[in-house]
Amino acid sequence: MRIAILAHEKFPDRAKTALGVLRYGDHDVAAVLDRDTAGKRVSDFVSDVQDAPIVAELADLEDEADELDALLIGISPIGGEFDESWRDDVRTALEYGCDVVSGLHYFLAEDEEFARLAEENGCELRDVRNPPEDLTVADGVAGEVDAEVILTVGTDCSVGKMTTTMELARDARQAGFDAAVIPTGQTGIMIEGWGNPIDRVVSDFTAGAVEEMITELGDEYDYLFVEGQGSIVHPAYSPVTLGILHGSMADKLVLCHEAGREAIHGYESFSLPSIPTYVDLYESIAEPVAEGRVVAGALNTAGLDDDAARQAVDEYAETLGAPATDVIRFDTDDVLEALR
Amino acid sequence: MRIAILAHEKFPDRAKTALGVLRYGDHDVAAVLDRDTAGKRVSDFVSDVQDAPIVAELADLEDEADELDALLIGISPIGGEFDESWRDDVRTALEYGCDVVSGLHYFLAEDEEFARLAEENGCELRDVRNPPEDLTVADGVAGEVDAEVILTVGTDCSVGKMTTTMELARDARQAGFDAAVIPTGQTGIMIEGWGNPIDRVVSDFTAGAVEEMITELGDEYDYLFVEGQGSIVHPAYSPVTLGILHGSMADKLVLCHEAGREAIHGYESFSLPSIPTYVDLYESIAEPVAEGRVVAGALNTAGLDDDAARQAVDEYAETLGAPATDVIRFDTDDVLEALR
């Protein structure tokens, strides 16, 4: 599938979905759209992902746009609104007959202009954050599957849960295990091509929507790596986190954190508790439903140099009393060992 | 408003909404519909609520049905589905020109026959569990309101959180305080005539939907009594509970429990943790967002005789290290004192 990824004014640091698809998706990326960094290439910013040119708007692709299968919205502002400055690109994509794939809370299929253009040009608006209609409450049975269920939990949003999930699943596969990812957010769903957007599921069905995915795959794999969301103490998103924790009935937890982060992103008046407090909170709130233990850590050290990163990871492991790594920068051997 | 309440095969013990409206609503109740107990009266089962005859079906009301304003669906099965054995009564109500008010997950307004009948007869289908369209994420500001925010939390579903909320608010008003209820579930909403059905809000907006109600009323009252839902360790509903806890940023918590309950209702393989564990869990998970302490307890002793009830409440208070009561059976003086 040949795609372009919209990431205006946010590539690469605030374009989590765009980066995730570049790194883990099996799409062929023709271009990233970012009017702020147009003219450069993905490889000017990030070295270990698929390279692609960065252009200011879809129309700049000219003839190449004709060969695109889809435009992916690769950024998601707080609240998940549609930014009107993206409208030209979405319109252009539809006029070229491209599908548009979006993880926004704002559903493109309900936008009158987009719906009309999609119909006229025979293409599809795919709102991956629009959950299926047939979800229901959890039965409390995810713990019965054969697979070891491993969940990434975090100290905050955007600390690396999705990345850690994808890296661990990939490395587990390379080590010869049958490992699947359980996608719970827009990026995971865009990468894997299936999944339930848990943050958009009604709160009564949150755990059930996770359980449904676990029981669907759980007897066919050795390991299920569940993409975690948010944080158990996030002022807005904690219900999503807890629904995934209880719905997955995870056996093992990997605590994800970003080196140096001290306050909730976007909610700076809320300080992060200590790492041991997070471990206690996740384990104690999990236990009455399923005894999930924090057995490893993943530290995002993107802001540090190599020496500082190594030291930060070592300190993080010591604090956790468990193996830790930066899944992008270092290997995952010790962490995978802890997950067996 | 003159109403009938549908509670087939579940009145009174499994008809929480029906009982709540009989006890706290200011509606004039013409009849309760329950084909299992038809011929008896509400007062044959429950003494301290509004009395009404119990009939097998709405058609039995004959001429009286003409004077009804609304039929309320007063029961809610696990999953919130519509039971087809209720269809005749809903149809009859609409044919008499009655509104039908429902807290089911299944929206009556989306049922083709009901929608047509409502239109033909000029009446309204009110699905109180259908949340408003304009909800969004929490800002983490509920803690800034002038009112003392008091939240009922529970060891399980159906242990008395709604009842405790209503009783404490009523008693606080009688003691001369400005007290309001923040309704978060179908029964609270039916009683109060407003509110957000938190269990039906998408999980990203759960905390925000509570925060919105708190900030709307928070500077006009001395006390806000927030109707809690579910339990922080419920295998299915914990996200609803946590969204209310973090979204309300409650100052004080009242822990509600039913004497003798040992397992999660409907999920009997899940044992309830100890009461001190619940206190720790609620306080520790609340603290990073807002420091809410368990300052009182409410014990549902409906299954016990008077002596056993008194003893159970005393033991519960001792375990909590805080005042406790059964809000239906005993007074709330000590509990209210602890909330000041």
CA distances from B75 to A79, A125, A280, B25, B46 (A): 34, 39, 38, 15, 17
Least CB–CB distance from A273: residue in B78, B270, B288: B288
Q: Given this model, what pLDDT does residue A232 score?
A: 98
Strands (E), chain B: 2-6, 28-33, 54-55, 70-73, 99-102, 125-127, 148-154, 179-182, 223-226, 252-258, 263-264, 267-271, 293-300, 324-325
Q: Spell out the residues 6+ positions from residue A298 whose beta carbon is closer than 8 angstroms to its own.
A: A152, A160, A164, A254, A255, A256, A257, A324, A325, A326, A327, A335
Tell me the chain A residues in contact with residue B155 when contact means C-beta distances shorter than 8 Å. Answer: none
Structural element, H or E, at residue B272: none
Task: Kindly tell me if the per-residue pLDDT of B78 is higher than 80.
Answer: no
% of chain B residues with pLDDT over 90: 89
Q: Which residue of B has its CA nearest to A244?
A: B239
B153 pairs with which residues across the strands?
B255
CB contacts < 8 A (A, B): 152
Test A233 with B289 for CB contact under 8 angstroms.
yes
Suggest the residue from B204, B212, B240, B287 to mutate for an interface test with chain A (most A CBs closer than 10 A): B204
Q: Which residue of B has its CA nearest to A138?
A: B236
Identify the CA nearest to B244 among candidates B223, B234, B229: B229
Test B237 with A204 for CB contact under 8 angstroms.
yes
Test A243 with B239 for CB contact under 8 angstroms.
yes
% of chain A residues with pLDDT over 90: 89
Test A289 with B198 for CB contact under 8 angstroms.
no
- HEC-encoded secondary structure of B148-208: EEEEEEECCCCCCHHHHHHHHHHHHHHCCCCEEEECCCHHHHHHHCCCCCHHHCEHHHHHH
Test A272 with B288 for CB contact under 8 angstroms.
yes
* CA B324 – CA B336 distance, rounded (Å): 10
* pLDDT-derived band at B105, boundaries 50, 70, 90: confident
Length of chain A, in residues: 340
Least CB–CB distance from A140: residue in B235, B242, B281: B235
A254 pairs with which residues across the strands?
A152, A296
B180 pairs with which residues across the strands?
B224
* CA B97 – CA A291 distance, rounded (Å): 53
B151 pairs with which residues across the strands?
B226, B253
* pLDDT-derived band at B77, boundaries 50, 70, 90: confident
Left if phi > 0, otherwise alpha if psi is -120 to 50, otherwise beta: which for A20? alpha
CA–CA min distance B210, chain A (Å) = 10
Least CB–CB distance from A207: residue in B235, B281, B289: B235
- HEC-encoded secondary structure of chain A: CEEEEECCCCCCCCCHHHHHHHHHCCCEEEEEECCCCCCCEHHHCCCCCCCCEEECCHHHHHHHHHHCCEEEECCCCCCCCCCHHHHHHHHHHHHCCCEEEECCCCCHHHCHHHHHHHHHCCCCEEECCCCCCCCCCCCCCHHHCCCEEEEEEECCCCCCHHHHHHHHHHHHHHCCCCEEEECCCHHHHHHHCCCCCHHHCEHHHHHHHHHHHHHHHCCCCCEEEECCCCCCCCCCCHHHHHHHHHHHCCCEEEEEEECCCCEECCEEEEECCCHHHHHHHHHHHHCCCCCCEEEEEEEECCCCCHHHHHHHHHHHHHHHCCCEECCCCCCCHHHHHHHC
Test A138 with B281 for CB contact under 8 angstroms.
no
Tell me the chain A residues in contact with residue B206 when contact means C-beta distances shorter than 8 Å. Answer: 203, 239
Tell me the chain B residues in contact with residue A267 when contact means C-beta distances shorter than 8 Å. Answer: 139-140
Suggest the residue from A204, A274, A280 to mutate for an interface test with chain B (most B CBs closer than 10 A): A204
Q: Given this model, what pLDDT does residue B340 score?
A: 86
Test A243 with B238 for CB contact under 8 angstroms.
yes
* CA A29 – CA A2 distance, rounded (Å): 6
Indicate the DSSP class of residue B92: H
Identify the CA nearest to A313 among candidates A339, A275, A262: A275
Strand pairing category for B2-6 and B28-33: parallel
Counting other chains too, the contacts that A87-93 makes at CB distance below 8 Å and 24 or more residues apart are: A87/A113, A88/A57, A88/A58, A88/A59, A89/A6, A89/A33, A89/A57, A89/A58, A90/A6, A90/A114, A91/A117, A92/A57, A92/A58, A92/A59, A92/A65, A93/A4, A93/A58, A93/A65, A93/A68
* CA B249 – CA B246 distance, rounded (Å): 5
Coil, strand or helix at B218:
coil
CA–CA min distance B238, chain A (Å) = 7
* Residue carrying the six token digits 């603290």: B287
- Per-residue pLDDT tens digits of chain A, which is 340 residues long: 899 999 999 999 999 899 999 999 989 999 999 999 999 999 999 988 999 999 999 999 988 888 899 999 999 887 788 999 999 999 999 999 999 999 998 999 999 999 999 999 999 999 998 999 899 999 999 999 999 999 999 999 999 999 999 999 999 999 999 999 999 998 899 999 899 999 999 999 999 999 999 999 999 999 999 999 999 999 999 999 999 999 999 999 999 999 999 999 999 999 999 999 999 999 999 999 999 999 999 999 999 999 999 999 999 999 999 999 999 999 999 999 999 8
Least CB–CB distance from B204: residue in A204, A237, A284: A237
% of chain B residues with pLDDT over 70: 100
* CA A203 – CA A195 distance, rounded (Å): 17
* pLDDT-derived band at B63, boundaries 50, 70, 90: confident
Tell me the chain A residues in contact with residue B136 when contact means C-beta distances shorter than 8 Å. Answer: 79
Output the six-digit token pair for A184.
């719970």
Tell me the chain A residues in contact with residue B207 when contact means C-beta distances shorter than 8 Å. Answer: 235-239
Least CB–CB distance from A238: residue in B198, B207, B273: B207
Rounded (10°) angle between helices A275-286 and B275-286: 140
* CA A136 – CA B227 distance, rounded (Å): 23
Least CB–CB distance from A79: residue in B78, B136, B289: B136
Suggest the residue from B110, B135, B202 to mutate for an interface test with chain A (most A CBs closer than 10 A): B202
Q: Given this model, what pLDDT does residue B64 score?
A: 81
* CA B255 – CA B261 distance, rounded (Å): 14
Least CB–CB distance from A242: residue in B137, B242, B267: B242
Test A284 with B280 for CB contact under 8 angstroms.
yes
Q: Spell out the residues 6+ positions from residue A24 whose beta carbon is closer than 8 angstroms to its own.
A: A166, A170, A191
Give the pLDDT confidence of B161-212 residue by residue, as tens digits.
999 999 999 999 999 999 999 999 988 999 998 999 999 999 999 999 999 9
Least CB–CB distance from B238: residue in A201, A242, A277: A242
CA–CA min distance A168, chain B (Å) = 26
* Residue carrying the six token digits 């990939």: A170
CATH code linked to domain B2-127: 3.40.50.720
B322-335 as b/e: b if 16+ CB within 10 A: bbbbbbbbbebeeb
Test B289 with A238 for CB contact under 8 angstroms.
yes
Rounded (10°) angle between helices A238-248 and B238-248: 160
Suggest the residue from A134, A203, A291 to mutate for an interface test with chain B (most B CBs closer than 10 A): A203
Task: Kindly tell me if the per-residue pLDDT of B125 is higher than 90.
Answer: yes
Indicate the DSSP class of residue B15: -
Test B233 with A289 for CB contact under 8 angstroms.
yes
Would you say B325 and B334 are in contact if contact means Cβ atoms under 8 Å apart? yes
Q: Which residue of A has its CA nearest to B77?
A: A137
Test A246 with B269 for CB contact under 8 angstroms.
no
Would you say B272 and B261 are in contact if contact means Cβ atoms under 8 Å apart? yes
Would you say B228 and B199 are in contact if contact means Cβ atoms under 8 Å apart? no
Q: Given this model, what pLDDT does residue A78 score?
A: 74
Q: Spell out the residues 6+ positions from residue B173 whose beta carbon is closer than 8 angstroms to its own.
A: B179
Output the six-digit token pair for A185.
């957010």
* Residue carrying the six token digits 């702020």: A36
| Domain range summary for chain A, segments of one domain joined by + | 2-127, 142-339
Tell me the chain A residues in contact with residue B289 when contact means C-beta distances shorter than 8 Å. Answer: 233, 235, 238, 270
CA–CA min distance B144, chain A (Å) = 12
Give the pLDDT confidence of B222-257 residue by residue, as tens digits.
999 999 999 999 999 999 999 999 999 999 999 999
Tell me the chain A residues in contact with residue B267 when contact means C-beta distances shorter than 8 Å. Answer: 139-140
Test A285 with B232 for CB contact under 8 angstroms.
yes
Which fold does the domain A142-339 belong to in CATH?
Rossmann fold (3.40.50)
Q: Given this model, what pLDDT does residue A65 score?
A: 80
* CA B107 – CA B120 distance, rounded (Å): 18
Least CB–CB distance from B240: residue in A200, A203, A285: A203
